[in-house]
Amino acid sequence: MARTTLTRDEVLDAAAALVMQHGPAALTMRKLAAELGTAVTSIYWHVGNRESLLDALVERTVEEMGAIRPTGRTPADRILSVARVLRRELRKRPHLIAMVHERGLTERMFLPAQQALVHEVHAAGLRGARAADAVRAVQFQVVGYLLVERNRERSPAQSPAESELWDPAAAPHDPALARALARPADPDRLFLLSVRALVHALLAPGGAADAAGTSGTSGTSGTSGTSDATGTCDTTGTCDTTGAAPPR
């Protein structure tokens, strides 16, 4: 029996669930109607055609990614909290994030997280180019780490495996290190370790940004991607060192 009541939010919830589980190609109006136990005409009445539905999902994803609220006692703690939430939310909805990127809204999607980071680096005393470098460094760390995670998750079984390559006999000078590297990586722990180290360096007096040189002297930068004289980076931090912008 068809449902007698249905809201736009319920339609978007069901559509988002289908996309998150199976990708946008799996989202059809008939399948969505079947999931909701309603008529296809009811779906059209609430959200319009399929393209309008996809646009609405993109817009809602952008809004949801903007709901990042820093927590913690210190600027460093709050920066870490933003990084953790950003990674979690990006991991949760890869297909929807890809749709945002395809529509040219990646910069807008990341803006609230950047603004939260700006507030915290200001609270830590950073200003100007050094503050901008800190914001971008944290964002690039999150997105770059996520790309590595996905690559490892999707890669075929490795032969020889890491556990075989790091037999303690291969590193007699540090067998404890070899045993640690032979164990599976803990991505959550490594993420926190890497972001903490980065934030500590960025916020330290005369921090890592100063040591790397003055920002912007070798090229140009966008709001969430940087480039130098040897290449360009897109909005998620993926770089092409040939000098040509990577495909979107």
240 strand-pairing partners: 232
232 strand-pairing partners: 240
pTM of the model: 0.76
pLDDT of res. 110: 96
The segments of the chain whose pLDDT lies below 70 read 1-4, 207-248
Q: Which helix (H) or strand (E) holds 54?
A: helix 50-65
pLDDT of res. 213: 55
pLDDT of res. 116: 97
Segment 186-204, tens digit of pLDDT: 999 999 999 999 999 999 9
Q: Which residues, at least 6 apart from 189, have a Cβ–Cβ distance to it below 8 Å?
A: none
Q: Which helix (H) or strand (E) holds 239?
A: strand 239-240
Closest to 60 (Cα-Cα) out of 100, 118, 102, 87: 100
- 175: its two tokens: 């067998």
pLDDT of res. 227: 37
pLDDT of res. 3: 53
pLDDT of res. 99: 95
- Give me the phi and psi of 215, to 5 degrees please: -65, 135
pLDDT of res. 165: 86
